[in-house]
Structure 1
Amino acid sequence: MDVVDIEGAFDSFEETWSPRLAASLNGQELKVAKLEGEFVWHSHPDADELFWVIEGDLTLELEGEPDQQLSDGQLGVVPAGVEHKPVADGLAKVVLFEPAGTENTGDADAGERQRDVEPLED
């Protein structure tokens, strides 16, 4: 069994908007990411996406719905197909949970914002 220290996971990298794979289970991936500023509008047509804020403040702007504000210890799930844009006011440390292979930019043509999920470094 692998044990992941979440605080240590966040300490292992500096890049923002570049998720790191912390664990895989049952076809799902748990990723850690540092977010700062605005991301791009996108959706995941076939996948719900869970955002769990470990530290900081995150706004999930949702197409056609009120924005959702998340702070330390709060989580929210963006349903499959809902267009959304994460916005971090300052640095936010966030855990993401979604099906394996889910692109960070979903269906958006985001060019340089698209990232492959990298494994955590020891």
Structure 2
Amino acid sequence: MNINEQLKTIKDYYSPKIIGEVNDVFIKLVKIQGNKVPWHHHKNEDELFYVLKGSLVFEIENQEPFTMKKGDLFIVKKGINHKVSSKKECHLMLIENKSALHTGNVISEITKSINNQK
């Protein structure tokens, strides 16, 4: 599989696409632009972010925001309240437990069911 070819099939921002499974985790690709991801956490799951293109502003509750750029990786531990945004188009790979909802404990306009991520 070619990640760039998979990214071309994603037309909408904030719409993760499952591209594979490894044991009990999904590998997802997503494009974001703007600030629609709500503050949220994952009660029982860690979440891995890997920036493929662009830059990502990462906010963690009670900490200063930081910017990730192409090639950067960050793991959010379970229970940590966080949100992400990007001024320009940003492409991400996410690795999440199959049980994780991509907007965690919050249902918002961008929340997609697992079936809508395939």
Which residue type is aligned with residue 26 of structure 1? N
Structure 2: state its 5+ residue gaps.
Answer: none
The counterpart of 1:73, out of the listed 71, 74, 77, is 71
Contact 2:10 2:30 in 1 (8 A): no
| Distance in structure 2 (CA, Å) of the matches to 1:99 and 1:31 | 11
Relative to the length of structure 2, the TM-score reads: 0.92
CA deviations 1:33-82 (Å, max 9, x no partner) are 00111111100011111110000010111001222211011111111111
Aligned to 2:89: 91
CA drift of 1:101 comes to 3.0
CA distance in 2 between counterparts of 1:13 and 1:87 reads 18
Letter in 1 for 2:31: K
Q: Displacement, 1:13?
A: 1.8
Q: How far apart are the structure 2 equivalents of 1:98 and 1:58?
A: 18
Corresponding position of 2:41 = 43
CA distance in 2, matches of 1:29, 1:69: 24
Give, in whole Å, the separation in 2 of the partners of 1:94 and 1:20: 11
C-alpha displacement of 1:116: 2.0
What is the SS of the residue equivalent to 1:113? coil
Q: Where does residue 57 of structure 1 map in the other structure?
A: 55
Unpaired runs of at least 5, structure 1: none
SS in 2 for 1:81: coil
Could you tell me the percent identity over the aligned residues?
A: 26
2:6 aligns to what SS in structure 1? helix
2:4 maps to 1:7 = yes
Amino acid paired to 1:115: K
